[in-house]
Structure formats: C-alpha cells, structure tokens
Amino acid sequence: MNRRHLLRTGLAAPALTLAGRLFAAPPSTPRFLCVFLRGGYDCANLLIPHSSSFYYESRPRIAIAKPDAAIGDGALALDADWALAPAVRDWLGPMYKRGQVAFIPFAGTEDLTRSHFETQDSIELGQPLTPQRDFRSGFMARLAKTLAGATPIAFTDTLPLAFAGDAGLASISLQRAGKSPFDDTQTAVLRSLYLGNRLESAVTEGLELQQQVAQAVQAEMAAANRGAISTRGFELTAERMARFMRTQYRLGFVDVGGWDTHVNEGGARGPLATNLTSLASGLATFADALGDEWNNTVVFVLSEFGRTFRENGNAGTDHGHGSVYWVLGGRISGGRIAGEQVRVERGTLLQDRDYPVLNNYRNVLAGLFASLWGLSAQQLETIFPGAPAADLKLV
C-alpha cells in the first residue's frame, strides 16, 4: 500500500464540517490511537525480563514465574530474554504471533522528576525539556494540524494536554451514554449563543458528537438485543472508540488510570494483572470492532514512566523511569521487541533504581508518524521540535 500517494491525492478535495474544519479524510488515511496509561504502569511485570536472575532477586514477592511451556496459563516466552505476563497472554499472545504487536522496552522521556504530573505533561506537550515550554501546544494538536484531513478526538472526560492548542478539538467520554440529542431548532439556538465566542467550535462539535453518541448507543442496544455480549469498563470504551474511529475520526486519544501500584501490586494475579487484562482485552475488542480497518490502524500505548525495578517495602513499586511501550496494528511489523536495548541487570539500572531510557518517545513517535503518513522532516519538526525520527521499522 502506498500511503504517501493516497494521502496526497485523498486530501485534494476535503469537505467541511459544521465546525469549519477539514473532514472526511479519504478512507485510506491510516488511523492512530494513543493510549495513555496514567500512573506509571509497572512494565517489568508486563514484559518480563525472564533471562535476568536480577529480576527474580529484586522482586521476591511480586516477580512472575519464568515461562514454562508445560504451564498453559503462565508467562508466555516471546524470545530468550522477554516473556509476556499471564494476565495478557490470551489477548496479546495471538496478536504477537500474527505480528500485530511489538514492544519497545527502555522507552520514555528524559524528564527525571519521577513526578506523575510533570512527566505526563512533558510527554503530552512533546516539546524539548526547556523552561520555555508552551503549555498551549500539545503534540496531538500539532499532529492534527499537520494532517489537516485527519480529524482528532479525545475519548476523555476533559480535554487532555496533548490536545491543547486548538479550542475546537473534540473530546467526549464514552463511559457515559448519551442523552437524547437536542432538536434542530434547539441546536441552532445553542450554537447561536456562542457565535464568535472562543468556544464556538467546541459547542458546534459537542452538539454534533452528542448526536453521534446517541446513535452509537442506539446501535449497541440493537446489537445487544440480538444477543451480543455486554461489555463494561475499558472494553465498552474500546468498542465505542472503534465505532467513532472506523468512520469519522482518524486520530484518537484515550487515557486509562489506576496504575500507581505502591502497595501490594501482585504478580501473576492481583490488582496490576487485573488492570492489564482489562486493557489487553479492550484493545483486542477495539481491533475486532474495527474489522478490516484494523489493517489500517496503529495503536500506541505509553505511560509516563516505569517503576522501581526492585519491589518496595509494601510489595509494590515506586516511581521509576524507563517504561515499555506497546505498538499494535493489523499490518505493523510486530511480533518482536523493538528499539535499543541493554541487558537487564543491576549495573544497567539508572541510578541503581529503574530502567534507563534508550528510546525517547519523541524520536520513536516521529519515526512512526513519518512512515505512517509519509511526513517530511520539516513537518515532523513542527510536531516534535528538535527530535529526529528514529525509525524502528514498525510500519
């Protein structure tokens, strides 16, 4: 598939939404969904460095047992060094085998505050770490501006910082079902209240989204009546996200919380495992619900930081640094562990505490965006200033 060609020709005749933005990207424009795990998930208990005896020494209570082919529901060996947590193997295992998932260990940012909020902000802004950062310019907003035909949407209660910069970017929480929409007259009057106001496009888009969510909920109810399995939590969100992204929105953002496991995080089972299962099954649902369009979609899962490599005094882990990112998609070159790596042992830890960052998220995403949409170095520079693309050949 020559995506660059399609992108150029497809954007030749864009239509306008009510919000006045470009809409109806050509059906071939690749989709991108960013999944932000807020709280700093413990990546070492997702992608287990099973060849490292140091891992087992460091986590006497929470380490996940070495993969054993005889155990059907234990960790799943991906290669000689890495294994997948039992909590996700049923969903990600088959996808990995099909080459639809890759993991990037030692990934993250140069921000060493180990503060959730500071580091989340850093990542969402996507700017160099200088005191002059512009808090009105998030990387997803800059991406959306560059890809003028790919309408963005955040599936969140409030607009994430990654979307800062354009008051009209859409956000909607899919956890709460839509009420009956306003009629045409009410919609027109409500819009008229905000003509010329800084919130004009947010209002227009919000009223449009309200109609769409109402339709989506109706469709789900119809499907449920035909005996569809009911889903909840992230799975429900995932199914609805797919509905939105299959048709109209090409750039998505969603956040998932509950990863700050300072106490009793568990190993093969426990709170972290439960959260991982919900995430992995939700992503599998998302892939299924997209149907053929999964082949034209890339999902990127990231988190603000990894956690301490050693368990703490409470069978949990504290704030660390390097993380493991996930890349998923129907046609990605996955089934492998991508990016720069080092052996996992005490000597390679950062400050004798956590994973180092060898794959900076800005370079990695720039590389991904370059091959996904055929962006020029100049375009990438506006999205991630000063971060040359690192091509991990995932797309």
Partner 1 sequence: MQTLAFRKLLVAATAVLVVAGCASGPTPASRTSPDMPWLERMTFGVNSGVLADYRRLGRDGYLAAQLRPGDGRLPDAVATAIVQLQISNSDVAQLLASVVTEQKRLNALPDGPERQAARQALNTRGNELVYEARRRELLRAIYSPAQLKEQMMWFWLNHFSVFEQKANVRWLVADYSERAIRPHALGHFRDLVMATLEHPAMLEYLDNAQNAAGHLNENYARELMELHTLGVDAGYSQHDVQELARVLTGVGVAGPAPPHLRPELRGYYLRDGAFEFNPGRHDFGAKQLLGHALTRRGFAEVSEAVDLLVRQPACARFISHKLAVYFVADEPPPALVARMARTFQESDGDIAAVLRTLFTAPELAAQAGGKFKDPMQYVVSAVRMAYDTRIVENMHPVANWLGALGEPTFGHQTPDGYSLQDTAWSSSGQMSRRFEIARTIGAGSAGLFDPENGGPATVVGFPLLTTPVYYSVVQPSLSAQTRSALQRARSPQEWNLYLLASPEFNSR
Total residues interacting with partner 1, rule: CB under 8 A: 56
Tell me: does residue 8 bind partner 1 (CB under 8 A).
Answer: no
Tell me: does residue 176 bind partner 1 (CB under 8 A).
Answer: yes
Q: Which of 4, 61, 98, 179 binds partner 1 (CB under 8 A)?
A: 179
Q: Which of 168, 252, 330, 367 binds partner 1 (CB under 8 A)?
A: 168
CA dihedral 354, 358, 361, 366 (to 10 degrees): 180
d(CA 15, CA 238): 27
Which residues have a Cβ under 8 Å from the Cβ of 201 and sit 6 or more positions away?
19, 20, 21, 167, 168
Tell me: does residue 206 bind partner 1 (CB under 8 A).
Answer: yes
Bridge-partner residues for 15, per DSSP? Answer: 23
Looking at this protein, which amino acid is placed at residue 62? I
Token digits of residue 275:
């959260």
d(CA 285, CA 295): 14
Task: Please name the residue that has the structure tokens 């790919």.
Answer: 150
Backbone angles phi, psi at 31, to 5 degrees: -95, 155
Tell me: does residue 193 bind partner 1 (CB under 8 A).
Answer: yes
d(CA 134, CA 111): 16
Whole-number Cα distances in Å, 135 to 130, 131, 147, 241, 253: 12, 11, 21, 27, 18
Span 121-150, contacts to partner 1 by CB under 8 A: none
Using the contact rule CB under 8 A, the part of the chain among 9-17, 115-123, 237-245, 323-331 near partner 1 is 115-123
Using the contact rule CB under 8 A, the part of the chain among 43-51, 76-84, 258-266, 376-384 near partner 1 is 258-266
Query: Cβ of residue 162: shortest distance to partner 1, in angstroms?
Result: 12
Looking at this protein, which amino acid is placed at residue 352? D
Using the contact rule CB under 8 A, the part of the chain among 69-77, 189-197, 273-281, 338-346 near partner 1 is 189-197
* Dihedral sign (CA 16, 144, 282, 76): positive
- Closer CB to partner 1, 117 or 219, in the complex: 117
- Closer CB to partner 1, 61 or 393, in the complex: 61
Residue 256: its H or E element: strand 251-256
d(CA 235, CA 240): 9
d(CA 394, CA 196): 44
Using the contact rule CB under 8 A, the part of the chain among 1-9, 28-36, 144-152, 161-169 near partner 1 is 161-169
d(CA 107, CA 301): 11
Tell me: does residue 202 bind partner 1 (CB under 8 A).
Answer: yes
Question: Which of 80, 12, 39, 45 shows the shortest CA–CA distance to 273?
Answer: 45
Tell me: does residue 248 bind partner 1 (CB under 8 A).
Answer: no
10 Å Cβ neighbour count for 85?
25
Span 46-75, contacts to partner 1 by CB under 8 A: none
Query: Cβ of residue 252: shortest distance to partner 1, in angstroms?
Result: 13
Q: Which of 10, 77, 90, 182 binds partner 1 (CB under 8 A)?
A: 182
10 Å Cβ neighbour count for 293?
17
- Closer CB to partner 1, 303 or 363, in the complex: 303
Span 292-321, contacts to partner 1 by CB under 8 A: 312-314, 316, 318-319
Q: Which of 1, 71, 189, 377 binds partner 1 (CB under 8 A)?
A: 189
- Closer CB to partner 1, 114 or 362, in the complex: 114
Using the contact rule CB under 8 A, the part of the chain among 200-208, 234-242, 289-297, 377-385 near partner 1 is 200-208
Using the contact rule CB under 8 A, the part of the chain among 56-64, 225-233, 254-262, 284-292 near partner 1 is 254-262
Query: Cβ of residue 171: shortest distance to partner 1, in angstroms?
Result: 4
Using the contact rule CB under 8 A, the part of the chain among 76-84, 198-206, 223-231, 325-333 near partner 1 is 198-206
Query: Cβ of residue 185: shortest distance to partner 1, in angstroms?
Result: 7
- Taken as a whole, the chain contains a residue count of 395
Task: Please name the residue that has the structure tokens 């909920």.
Answer: 217
Residues that bind partner 1 (CB under 8 A): 38-39, 113-118, 154, 157-159, 163-164, 167-173, 176, 179, 182, 185-186, 189-190, 192-197, 199, 201-207, 209-210, 257-258, 260, 262-263, 312-314, 316, 318-319, 351
